[in-house]
Chain A
Amino acid sequence: MKKSTRPATYGLMAEFDDPSAVVAAAQKVYDEGYRSIDAYSPYPIEALSEAIGVHSTRMPLLVLIGGILGLIGGYAMQYYTHAIDYPIIVGGRPFHSWPSFIPITFETTVLGASLAAVFGMLALNGLPEPYHPVFNTPNFALASRDRFFIVIEAVDPKFDRDATAEFLRGLGSREVIDVEH
């Protein structure tokens, strides 16, 4: 049965006061071998993502592909309409007037790249997500103000309720709490 394999809690959450402490702690958590981890901070801290092992994402590639599709699509659209489907002489210029195609090609490139960025971001990070267990902890609202959090999920093979809690307390956190499902 599915229920029986599910851990009793979602995981353990450690709370920190300042950014350098949370980065140092996150690094130790990662070095200890935990992989099902996440960190929360009121503003982006690049070193924090690095510390929990998020080195690169597929986002840049997606955006590049979106941009290239926009570039080809924009130019092809203009070529088709101006040179093939409905050729009109404008100011004595050739039907395939590449210089005047460039501005629109640039715009469609930007459009393709930004659409790929928005929808690729949503696809990769799983948003919108109406429910997440971390919000069950009382202090978590402070993650959008002045607190920093590290969560080790119970599904991690190295996770052990007591040993992990002890380990997290040793990293200089204010508090370590269980996260309910």
Chain B
Amino acid sequence: MDTTSYNLPPAAERWQTRALIIGVVALVITAVIAFFSGSLTHSGEAGVAQGEAAAAAHGSTTFLAQFFRSYLVGFLFVTGISVGSLAILMLQHLSGGSWGLVIRRILEASTRTMPLLALMFIPIIFGIHSLYEWSHAEAVAADPILKHKSLYLNVPFFIGRAVFYFVVWGALAYFLNKWSREQDHTGDPRVKRQMQNLSGPGILLFGLTVTFAAVDWGMSLEPHWFSTIYGMLVMAAWGLTAMAFTITALVVLSRHDPMSHVYAPSHFHDLGKLLLAFVMIYAYFSFSQFLIIWSGDLPEETSWYLRRLRGGWELIGLAVVILHFALPFVLLLSRDVKRNARRLVLVALLVLVARVVDWIYLIAPASHQTEGHEQSLWPMLLLDFTTMFAATVGLGGIWLWFFLRQLRQQPLLPIGAPDLDKVLAAATTSQH
């Protein structure tokens, strides 16, 4: 087998530069819009939320609050691709199957962006006072619930936990990538066993770290509120993001030589089924949380939904139900859509956009005081969507640049994997 034949197409060089330029420009745009909106809302414009006013009182301007909230949305989206890919990578080591072999190099390249993500986390440490109410000593002192939670929710521990998550994710990614490279060179069957043995406990570690990360980065934005399924929700969200991104990357590669001869409709079919499964599991977790809180009807739990069902957010919620569940679900039921790369990639892109909208829905209302502001919230909402989408494109572009650099380093198929010829056979029989 000729190893040089599974390399990234030459066009990828151009994609890489473009991704970086778009990313940097989008981040600058985010900062500029956030800056002007900050001065607008500062001068007494309607739509100043109480949370922001509080943030301003604590010494940070609304400009910073808007910027960091947008940055957080982008960060959570992009981290989802890498950490979700890590989970799917471990899953395919455990389950086997040709769907896993064709996407393995894409997943591995995604997991190798972990150092970049750790770097991207640093601005969040600087923005901690703009983002998290519990980081202000006065706020904690005045609030018995926050005081009670301060043993967990305090700045040093928050940073320490983040370091721990990145160490765990980075270590898992490091060993899985190292052994996969070894397998390429030696074809040693023991390496496969080794990767399986790490992936079992790895999935467990993934579940624990993501649950805590979800509580830290997302749930603690509203520190009074709690939901035990929130960690699972973020796991499903990240898995879904990773799956949709991987399918997109695969379809782009399948349009260029040499990979256009490798991927078969059956591969896209399997990945489409997995995408459908992730779409459904996310809807399941999300609805479970809603149903339980709605049935319980307890004030400390319903506050989260009340903020998200007022002042325009109820329409965004409806959009999430349609774009994130109903539409992809109905489309992915069709066998033809799953087997046709061109159609499948459209669904995958829809899911990626829906993921950003959903992150905005999860993060942004946390700082909006919606009661009594029903009319004035629309400009705020528009502002949120502009800066948050821009920040996601910004971080996403920079991430994509780094991802493509990683993807270039190895052949696009795991050439040392023992059952690779089955994958290649699928491609040849489908050509009849």
Q: Is A33 an interface residue (CB 8 A)?
A: no
Task: Given A92-B297, A99-B294, verify A23-B266 contact (CB < 8 Å).
Answer: no
Number of chain A residues whose Cβ lies closer than 8 Å to a Cβ of chain B:
17
Q: Is B304 an interface residue (CB 8 A)?
A: no
Cβ contact within 8 Å between A23 and B432: yes
Q: With A and B bound together, what is the CA distance between A53 and B31 in angstroms?
A: 59
Least CB separation from B266: chain A residue: A46
> In chain B between 385 and 432, which residues have their CB closer than 8 angstroms to a CB of chain A?
429-430, 432
Cβ contact within 8 Å between A100 and B295: yes
**Interface size class for chain B?**
10 to 19
Closest Cβ of chain B to A52, distance in Å, is: 12
Q: Is A36 an interface residue (CB 8 A)?
A: no
Closest Cβ of chain B to A96, distance in Å, is: 14
Closest Cβ of chain B to A88, distance in Å, is: 15
Cβ contact within 8 Å between B432 and A91: no
Contact mask A21-33 → B, CB, 8 Å, 1/0?
0011001000000
Closest Cβ of chain B to A45, distance in Å, is: 8
Collect the chain A residues with CB atoms within 8 Å of residue B333's CB.
Answer: 64
Cβ contact within 8 Å between B295 and A99: yes
Q: Is A144 an interface residue (CB 8 A)?
A: no
Task: Given A23-B429, A27-B432, A47-B430, verify A60-B335 contact (CB < 8 Å).
Answer: yes
Closest Cβ of chain A to B327, distance in Å, is: 16
A20 touches which of B290, B335, B429 (Cβ 8 Å): B429
Q: With A and B bound together, what is the CA distance between A60 and B330 in angstroms?
A: 13
Collect the chain A residues with CB atoms within 8 Å of residue B266's CB.
Answer: 46
Task: Given A60-B335, A92-B297, verify A100-B291 contact (CB < 8 Å).
Answer: yes
9 closest pairs, A vs B, by CB? A47-B429, A99-B294, A99-B291, A27-B432, A47-B432, A23-B429, A23-B432, A100-B295, A47-B430
Given contacts A60-B335, A99-B290, 12 further A-B contacts (CB under 8 A): A20-B429, A46-B266, A47-B429, A47-B430, A51-B432, A64-B333, A91-B297, A92-B297, A93-B297, A99-B291, A99-B295, A102-B287
Chain B residues with CB under 8 Å of chain A are 266, 287, 290-291, 294-295, 297, 333-335, 429-430, 432
